[in-house]
Structure 1
Amino acid sequence: MGIFRKLGNAIARFMYGRNGMDQLNTALLRGYLALFIAQMVFSLAKLEGGAMVCEILLWPLMVLIFFRMFSKNLYKRQGENTKYLNWIWGVKNKNAGAKARHADKDHKYFTCKQCRTICRVPVGKGKIIITCPKCGAQIHAKT
């Protein structure tokens, strides 16, 4: 067995039961790299204040990444990752839905002021009263 295989097996044994890199850690690492690049740009541009702020932010971010990666409290780390993924999914889904609603020329969309439900109505019906299917509130609108 080669030295690299032994090293890989040792790392795998060490990481057993630990969180490792999940989607939240990947996003934190990307943020860390962006801050690191910003620090380098500030240093090259002789802007010591910006470089110092970036350096102050880099250390706690690195500690957080390593803490999450080596944590054995899998339940808590998975909960954090799930919250992050739900938030990201909501942002992506909201943007995709807005694009689809904008592309739909056969319908007009209204948002209920009480429950924030999006109601779809055919275009060209004139002034109408829309009843929200979720909460029953009425929306007076022109299509």
Structure 2
Amino acid sequence: MGVFQKAGNALARFMYGRNGMDQLNRALLWGYVGLFLGQTVFTLVKLWIPALICEALLWPLMVLILFRMFSKNLYKRQEENTKFLNRAWKVKNQHSGARARHADKEHKYFTCKSCKTICRVPVGKGRIIITCPKCGAKIQAKT
């Protein structure tokens, strides 16, 4: 067994039962890289205050990344990751839905004020009253 194989096995034994890199840690790491590049640019342009702010944010972010990576409290870290994924999915889903609604020229979309449900109506019907299918609220609109 070679030296690299032994080192890999030792690392695998050390990481057993620890959180490791999940999606939230990857997002935090990308944030770290962005802050590091920002700090580098600010330093090259000689904008010292933004560079110092970036540097002050880099250290706690790296500590948080390492803490989450080596944490043995898997339940808490998985709960944090699930919350992050739910928020990220919601933002991604809203963006893709908005793009699809914008591309649809045959329908007009209205959002219910009370329950935030999106209602679809054919274009060219004039002034109409839309009844929300979810909560029953009335929406007056022009199509």
Using structure 2 for the length normalisation, give the TM-score: 0.97
Encode CA deviations 1:97-124: one digit per residue, 9 max, x unaligned: 0010011111111110111100001111
Q: Partner residue of 1:129?
A: 129
Q: Distance in 1 between matches of 2:83 and 2:47?
A: 37
Q: Partner residue of 1:142?
A: 142
Q: Distance in 2 between matches of 1:49 and 1:31?
A: 19
> C-alpha displacement at 1:47, in angstroms?
2.0
> C-alpha displacement at 1:95, in angstroms?
0.6
Q: Partner residue of 2:89?
A: 89
Q: Distance in 2 between matches of 1:140 and 1:40?
A: 53
Q: Partner residue of 1:10?
A: 10
Q: Partner residue of 1:118?
A: 118
- Give the aligned CA root-mean-square deviation in angstroms: 0.8
Q: How does 1:33-52 map to 2 (within 5 A)?
A: 33-52=33-52
Mark the runs of 5 or more structure 2 residues left unpaired by the alignment. none
SS at match of 1:57: helix
Q: How does 1:60-75 map to 2 (within 5 A)?
A: 60-75=60-75
Q: Partner residue of 2:107?
A: 107
Mark the runs of 5 or more structure 1 residues left unpaired by the alignment. none
- Of 36-45 and 4-13, deviating more is 36-45
SS at match of 2:120: strand
Give yes or no for the alignment of 1:31 onto 2:31.
Answer: yes
Q: Distance in 2 between matches of 1:70 and 1:39?
A: 27
SS at match of 2:114: coil
Q: Distance in 1 between matches of 2:128 and 2:47?
A: 59
Q: Distance in 2 between matches of 1:9 and 1:75?
A: 25
> C-alpha displacement at 1:27, in angstroms?
0.5
**Corresponding residue pairs, total:** 143
SS at match of 2:4: helix
Q: Distance in 1 between matches of 2:70 and 2:17?
A: 9
Letter in structure 2 aligned against 1:79: E
Of all paired residues, the percent bearing the same amino acid is: 76
